Structure 1
Amino acid sequence: MSADWEKDYPALENFLEKDLDENSSLKKMLRLIGEQKRVVDFGCATGYFARLLNNRGCEVVGVEINSKAAKVARNYCEEVIIADLDFVSLDEIFSDKIAVEKFDVAVFGDILEHLRNPWQVLEETRKLLTPQGFVIASIPNIAHGAIRLALLQGNFEYKALGILDNTHLRFFTRKTVAQLFEESGYLVDVIEPTKLPIYANSDLIPIIDKNNFDINITNEIERDEDADTLQFVIRGYPVSLENKYSKLYKQYFEVVEELNNYRTQLDNLKVELHQSKSQLQVRNTEFEQNLTDLEQSQAQLQEEQNQLQQTQIQYQQLKNQLKKNRRKLEEAQNQFQQTQMQLEQQDLQLQQVQQHWQDNQIKLQEAHAAWEHCQQIIQAMETSKFWKLRTAWLNFKHYLFSKFEN
């Protein structure tokens, strides 16, 4: 027995079915197995899944490679067989039971990917099943988006757990999982995925930083339906005439039902087509009216554009005229300021002239008063006796001179 298989499995003694998430592979397998079944659990580990099956009224026989885990599993299984399926065939393991003891269900919970030849193991399992028996398996999806993106970076690093578990020998996609069962003689009627986001921070997948990739690449990978599929949960029935007939019968009714659905859809499409044609005619009429309105609107728009151009020309002219008027206004303001300054100077000069005129008026009044005073003096002198004698003397003197000259 290889030491790589001696892993420490959790006991999960207080683990209940109600604690399982709907996305859990264990929950999906329990639902597919049902109740009151006789089950052989390959890779039963510590028997935690067998205990859940016990709670559903199932009888469980376990097969386990890890002797330590098998010892714990015996608390929940009728029997636990320690065996390495790579080196011991199921015929050898169940040689004394095959003829007298059959199982309703064979469970491979994340086991087939650990085997060198899972095809052979599945083929041998058919002998252990009752006529209505089936296989339930969960298998990791190697086509998970995180694995693909890691490969683009050149990384394919094994881990202790998850899709790249270091004890995995086989890797499967949805297509190759179906091929595995079909090539081993099974009809697969259920493939359910469990989900884990591509960029989740989980030990089960490589840690991927989306920002390190071209968006076209990530978009292409994200569009794949299995890009976030962590595991496939499969149910397969051994191939037999009865199973083939049952599957074909089921497929026939599915096809008939699908055909009826298509016919109903076709009738609905015909009604919708008729309605669409009527609506199309109405819309054509509306379109023609809208086209006429559009042509009128275009004509109006052209006219408005012409008016706008004229308005723009007028606006430019008014703008130019406004510039001229502004220049004239500035010149007028400058002239006004100069004139105002001149007026202020003239007003100052006028005040000076007025003051000078007032001074002259005063002087004139004084001179006039002096003149009147002189006139009074002269008049007084002329009326005086002296002035009269003087006048007579001058007249006489003038008379003598004139005589003398003659």
Structure 2
Amino acid sequence: MNSNWQKDYPLLSDLSEANLDDNSSLKKMLQLVGDNKRVVDFGCATGYFAKLLTNRGCQVTGVEVNSKAAKLAEQYCEQVIVADLDFVSLSEILPKQGFDVAVFGDVLEHLRDPWRVLRETREILKPKGYVVASIPNIAHGAIRLALLQGRFEYMELGILDRTHLRFFTRKSVEILFDESEFFVDSVERTKLSIFSGSNWIPELKQDTFESKIVQEIEQDEDADTLQFVVKAFPSTIEGKYAVLSNQYSSLVEEVKSSHSQLNQIKVELEQLQIELQEKTGQLECSQFQIQQKQSELELSKVEIQQKQIYLNESQFQLEQTQAELEQTQAELQKAQVELQENQAEVRQIQCQIQQTQTEWQETQTKLQQAHQGWESCQNIIKAMESSKFWKLRQAWFRLKRSLGLKAY
């Protein structure tokens, strides 16, 4: 914003209709203006909207308060007039002019007396000419909630733009045009949600408000309306005729469209009937298949029940076998314990046998030694018996026995 309250506009040189959102006021105004019209663009800025109009075959005259912006707009306009609408008469700056459309793109709210400017606009329009205007909505839900917090803070852009002198609701827009001797043909709107966080509206935190209050405000149809996009005709016979003519043309187009849609619906209906017959045949076939499947299912259920019985019996046998197995395992463990005990006894007996064998070998050795001693004694005895002494001794004993004497 510069010091003399003239806005610094963006160039938007790469702007095209193709990349405009359907929710854009520029897109809606372009559609309302149409093609091949002679247009006066009040507040044309750098000419970005005039460029879009020119691409539609329109001849554009621009009016702009900012001389620097007006200079840039000249490349898209047949003529650009630098003027402040609050201090000039339209008949002075646009004498003997006849326009099909007068465009006020977010302009009327910047004027001290928009009523006068609109009334003067009637004089520069052709008999079937009309006004297309976009106007910010001061009744947007974000503004209402901000007011509940005691806030009405001007911003660089948006509804509370610092350069706005007038503020409008849907009702006051209708009053503005009515008092300026226009009647409104249509009102479209651009939308922006209350808590979007956009720099076009005050920033709000939803959790700082009671939900009941938010819900009550959201019920208003214009709670999310950012701008009204208005098409209005002068309140003259020509203007009314133009409106009626437009309405008639619209109705004719709607009727043609309805007939076309009706014919298309008839074709679709016939096609649907054919498809319905096919589907009916398929359904009957499917029903027969379902019945077959149900019969198979019932048989399967019987088989499943039989298998379940068999499974239960098998389960019982398995449990018995499991019990027998556990008993066998217990007996096996017992047998293993007994085997271990027997193995211990066998090892003990083997030790005893080894000990007995050792003792027997020792006895054998002693016996052999005794036998050897006995044989030695026998040899000695034999030697003694064969000796002369032994023979004398034997003779002596015989003598004593014969004499009746004791032998010893």
Question: Are 1:73 and 2:70 an aligned pair?
Answer: yes
Deviation at 1:281, TM superposition (A): 0.4
Of the candidates 297, 309, 322, which is equivalent to residue 294 of structure 1? 297
What does 1:32-51 correspond to in 2, within 5 Å? Answer: 33=33, 37-45=37-45, 47-50=47-50
Q: Is the 8 A contact 1:134 1:235 kept in 2?
A: yes
Deviation at 1:358, TM superposition (A): 1.3
Deviation at 1:280, TM superposition (A): 1.0
Give the direction of change, closer, same or farther, for the CA distance of 1:366–1:249 in structure 2 (3 Å limit): same
Give the direction of change, closer, same or farther, for the CA distance of 1:72–1:377 in structure 2 (3 Å limit): closer
Q: Aligned-pair RMSD on alpha carbons?
A: 5.0
Give the direction of change, closer, same or farther, for the CA distance of 1:35–1:261 in structure 2 (3 Å limit): closer
Structure 2 CA distance for aligned equivalents of residues 307 and 180 of structure 1: 91
Count the aligned residue pairs. Answer: 371
Structure 2 CA distance for aligned equivalents of residues 155 and 271 of structure 1: 66
State which drifts further: 370-379 or 161-170: 161-170
Q: Is the 8 A contact 2:174 2:184 kept in 1?
A: no
| Partner residue, 2:256 | 253
Q: Is the 8 A contact 2:157 2:200 kept in 1?
A: yes
Structure 1 CA distance for aligned equivalents of residues 276 and 113 of structure 2: 56
| Partner residue, 1:216 | none
| Partner residue, 2:370 | 367
Structure 2 CA distance for aligned equivalents of residues 400 and 41 of structure 1: 193
| Partner residue, 1:377 | 380
Q: Structure 2: which amino acid aligns with 1:8? A: K
Q: Structure 1: which amino acid aligns with 2:359? A: H
Local SS of the residue matching 1:108: strand
Q: TM-score, normalised by structure 1?
A: 0.69
What does 1:284-363 correspond to in 2, within 5 Å? Answer: 284-363=287-366
Gaps of at least 5 residues in structure 1 are 214-225
Deviation at 1:368, TM superposition (A): 1.1
Structure 2 CA distance for aligned equivalents of residues 296 and 120 of structure 1: 91
Structure 2 CA distance for aligned equivalents of residues 177 and 286 of structure 1: 67
Local SS of the residue matching 2:126: strand
State which drifts further: 314-323 or 345-354: 314-323
Q: TM-score, normalised by structure 2?
A: 0.69
Deviation at 1:291, TM superposition (A): 1.0
**Cα shift readout 1:93-125 (whole Å, capped 9, x = no counterpart):** 445799943211121223466689989987885
What does 1:23-62 correspond to in 2, within 5 Å? Answer: 23=21, 25-26=25-26, 29-30=29-30, 33=33, 37-45=37-45, 47-50=47-50, 53=53, 58-62=59-63
Local SS of the residue matching 1:39: strand
Of the candidates 267, 270, 279, which is equivalent to residue 270 of structure 2? 267
Q: Structure 1: which amino acid aligns with 2:70? A: A
Question: Are 1:22 and 2:25 an aligned pair?
Answer: no
Deviation at 1:277, TM superposition (A): 0.9
Q: Structure 2: which amino acid aligns with 1:169? A: F
State which drifts further: 296-305 or 394-403: 394-403
Q: Is the 8 A contact 2:136 2:226 kept in 1?
A: yes
Q: Structure 1: which amino acid aligns with 2:369? A: E
Gaps of at least 5 residues in structure 2 are 210-221, 234-238
